[in-house]
Amino acid sequence: MSPFNLQTCARPNILALDPYRCARDDYKDDGKNILLDANENAYGPALAADAVPVTGSGPGSSPGSDPATLDLLGLHRYPDPHQQTLKQLLCDLRTTHAHTPKTLSPANLFVGVGSDEAIDALLRCFCVPGRDKLLVCPPTYGMYSVSAQANDVSLVRVPLLPAPTFALDTPSILAALSADPSIKLAYLCSPGNPTGSLLSKSSIAQILAHPTWNGLVVIDEAYIDFSSPESSLAEWVTEFPNLVVLQTLSKAFGLAGIRLGAAFADPAVAALLNNLKAPYNISSPTSALASLALSDSGLAIMRRNVALLNRQRDRLVAELPKIKGVGRLRGGTDSNFLLYEMLNDKGEADNTTALAVYERLAEEKGVVVRFRGREHGCLGCLRITVGTEEEVTRFLGALERTLKEVRGEGQVPADEEEKEVAANAVVA
């Protein structure tokens, strides 16, 4: 059994933190109270009534058909500081009983401004600046290192095993945790970014069961809904007090613009994160839109769109190897992006070639992908987000022409290039 002890793992000043309280911690706005507690403008926001969306106009909804509605004229009031209704919807989504008979509750939740707020909040909760460390497994999401640097937290890097598996090097991770008790957090991305590979449940279980390490395992599941059903380990936080699972509505739900993320955790860990946060960190429009997306109609739309994207993902996997100059798939297919090598004229994965293809696609073809060749194990690689059917068709044509040009095998006439730039959609 893990020796995880919250009282000795978390920073003492965070354990002793007296969270900000407002009157609505005790007296929630039920629509009947006269609210004279928070210095709000009782006349409402500076928005014309006809300039805001109609109540109940969420995607796929009809008035009154969803548990949340959009009432932008309520913007003069501070939002619900606890978001219990939204948290319950997230719990309902992730309680699958695929991994445990236990059930998630709102006490297991922290909701924040995207996953990034939780990534930063965990560092502030558990890592003493200048002393404690964060373990990461490159190649991985770049914000882990950015947040660590901002919080003066050192990184311990244990690279993933080589492509195409990009699996956890579990023995090396366990050895690193045994050797250095100042490591307080391990951030693991599943499916990985930029790898697209789902991490092994058994490997994660081994790390959680480390016999001496007093720290938290944090699984970032931003892309989990593009993987197989019931892949999420969110409900596992009811079994492991040293596990945190991060999720977001930015990817499969298509709501990157509302910045809504969640951290599933043991209630004691979730309480620390909630104590630390700003009192009204989730805006009312964000909460309403998120609740619409988590309703039955919203979930149906999400799953339909994921199915469409996964079909195009499979198409890319089938078509990309047919293009001369495209190398191996260097990761998995559990996300809405793919990691592919670009080959030089010797048939070798090559950063010079990949960078030239990346730049030409963006500057001459109007197609933007991501160059990932400087990340560990990703030599000569581009990360390609899956787009719509039309976007994928245009991307495949643009990539084939660009690779020919980079190899010096032909140049598209200038007038045709101009037409292409104007026509092509962005595939980011």
pLDDT digit string, tens, across residues 76-92: 888 999 999 999 999 99
Residue 50 has what pLDDT? 60
Residue 20 has what pLDDT? 62
Task: Give yes or no for residue 125 having a pLDDT over 90.
Answer: yes
**For residues 420 and 239, which has the higher predicted lDDT (pLDDT)?**
239
CATH number belonging to the domain at 82-294, selected among 3.40.50.10330, 3.40.640.10, 3.40.50.10710, 3.40.50.1980: 3.40.640.10
Q: Give the DSSP per-residue string, 217-258.
A: EEEE-TTGGGSSTT---GGGGGT-TTEEEEEESSSTT--GGG
369: tokens are 């992908």
Residue 17 has what pLDDT? 76
Task: Give yes or no for residue 224 having a pLDDT over 50.
Answer: yes
Residue 421 has what pLDDT? 44
Residue 244 has what pLDDT? 98
Residue 110 has what pLDDT? 98
Task: Give yes or no for residue 257 having a pLDDT over 80.
Answer: yes
Residue 410 has what pLDDT? 65
Query: Which of 10-19, 81-90, 149-158 bottoms out in mean pLDDT, i.e. has the lowest?
Result: 10-19
**For residues 15 and 396, which has the higher predicted lDDT (pLDDT)?**
396
Q: What is the mean pLDDT of residues 129-141?
A: 97
CA distance 277 to 207: 28
Task: Give yes or no for residue 203 having a pLDDT over 90.
Answer: yes
**57 band by pLDDT with thresholds 50, 70 and 90:** very low
Q: What is the mean pLDDT of residues 265-292?
A: 94
Task: Tell me what percent of the residues of the chain surpass a pLDDT of 70.
Answer: 83
Residue 352 has what pLDDT? 96
Q: What is the mean pLDDT of residues 377-400?
A: 94
Are 326 and 347 within 8 A, CB to CB? no
Q: What is the mean pLDDT of residues 259-281?
A: 96
**For residues 17 and 329, which has the higher predicted lDDT (pLDDT)?**
329
Alpha helices, DSSP H, located in 241-377 = 267-276, 284-293, 296-319, 351-364
Task: Give yes or no for residue 367 having a pLDDT over 80.
Answer: yes
- The whole model's pTM is what? 0.86
**For residues 323 and 66, which has the higher predicted lDDT (pLDDT)?**
323
Task: Give yes or no for residue 356 having a pLDDT over 80.
Answer: yes
Task: Give yes or no for residue 43 having a pLDDT over 80.
Answer: no
**53 band by pLDDT with thresholds 50, 70 and 90:** low
- The full set of domain ranges for the chain reads 22-80, 82-294, 302-423
124: tokens are 């502030």
The edge-to-edge listing of strands for the beta sheet with 381-385 is: 326-329, 337-342, 381-385, 370-371
Mean pLDDT value across the chain? 87
**350 band by pLDDT with thresholds 50, 70 and 90:** very high
**59 band by pLDDT with thresholds 50, 70 and 90:** very low
Give the distance, in angstroms, between the CA of residue 106 and the centroid of all CA atoms in the same chain.
20
Distances (CA, A) of 238 to 81, 94, 101, 201, 311: 24, 12, 9, 15, 34
List CB contacts of 15: < 8 A, sequence separation 6 or more.
Answer: 6, 7, 272
Q: What is the mean pLDDT of residues 280-293?
A: 92
Residue 76 has what pLDDT? 83
Residue 31 has what pLDDT? 65
Burial class (CB in 10 A: 0-12, 13-18, 19+), 130: exposed
Q: What is the mean pLDDT of residues 357-381?
A: 93
Residue 321 has what pLDDT? 96
Task: Give yes or no for residue 56 having a pLDDT over 50.
Answer: no
**48 band by pLDDT with thresholds 50, 70 and 90:** low
Q: What is the mean pLDDT of residues 288-313?
A: 92
List CB contacts of 340: < 8 A, sequence separation 6 or more.
Answer: 320, 326, 327, 328, 329, 330, 381, 382, 384
Domain 302-423 has CATH 3.40.50.2300: no
